[in-house]
Amino acid sequence: AQKVTQAQTEISVVEKEDVTLDCVYETRDTTYYLFWYKQPPSGELVFLIRRNSFDEQNEISGRYSWNFQKSTSSFNFTITASQVVDSAVYFCALRGSPSGGSYIPTFGRGTSLIVHP
Amino acid sequence: DTEVTQTPKHLVMGMTNKKSLKCEQHMGHRAMYWYKQKAKKPPELMFVYSYEKLSINESVPSRFSPECPNSSLLNLHLHALQPEDSALYLCASSQESRAGDPDTQYFGPGTRLTVL
């Protein structure tokens, strides 16, 4: 069975602060895929990033960056200089490979980020 | 274009009503999904269609009936729902080659369903 833990239920910051959202995962698959989604109050889950288990390179996209560390089974997400528009619930998700039997996505419980002006 | 559309945006129905939720994608994706999401919870998978065939049913009650008329459309037929079925219903699609790796799921905006 696979599991995704987002220990931070809610984070509150003031605009321009940096914030890191934690994601820790468990899987028996050697090949797996990790995702981050953003869900604003409107409801739609917006895809942010996909990372496979063989690619441990960190990624930066504008104010967003992701730190993938297999040694600690973590895939953390940092927003630099947060803005009010970043306020949303952020979900980390895990999918195994079809042959691994963990094909169905597993979502973490989500972290609600509130950015105050 | 990574758009998945869903209609209606909001739906209020009584327990004896029959209604349908609709989902459409034009990205050429071959897998489509229905999820149910309660407030402050992650999405829960309900059904998966792969190449227009139902491949996964996560033990969903029969009052929810999915249908995939073609590769671009996915419906969820609702009948005799209960108040606890009130939730956000999300549709998603992904590329999913037959022997390939699991692709990114792209989600629609959802239908907020209220059952009275």
pLDDT by residue for chain A (117 residues), tens only, comes to 789 999 999 999 999 999 999 999 999 888 889 999 999 998 999 999 999 898 888 888 899 999 999 999 999 999 999 999 999 999 999 998 766 555 688 999 999 999 999
A87 Cβ partners below 8 Å, 6+ apart? Answer: A40, A113, A114, A115
Q: Take residue A90 and report the two structure tokens written for it.
A: 């952020």
Residue with tokens 């549709």: B91
Residues in chain A within 8 Å Cβ distance of B41? 109-110
User: What per-residue confidence (pLDDT) applies to A30?
Assistant: 85
Interface of chain B against chain A, CB under 8 Å?
2, 40-43, 45, 48, 56, 58, 88, 90, 92, 99-102, 104-110, 112
Whether residue B8 has a cis bond before it, omega within 30° of 0: yes
Beta bridge partners of A36: A49, A92
User: What per-residue confidence (pLDDT) applies to A15?
Assistant: 97
Residues of chain B with pLDDT under 70: 1-2, 97-102
User: What per-residue confidence (pLDDT) applies to B53?
Assistant: 92
CA distances from A62 to A65, A79, A82, A92, A96 (A): 8, 9, 11, 19, 28
Q: Is A61 exposed, middle or buried (0-12, 13-18, 19+ CB in 10 A)?
A: exposed
Instruction: Using alpha carbons only, give the angle A83, A89, A93 rounded to the nearest 5 degrees.
Output: 120
User: What per-residue confidence (pLDDT) applies to B86?
Assistant: 97
d(CA B59, CA B54): 13
Among B58, B90, B112, select the one facing A45 at the smallest CB separation. Answer: B90
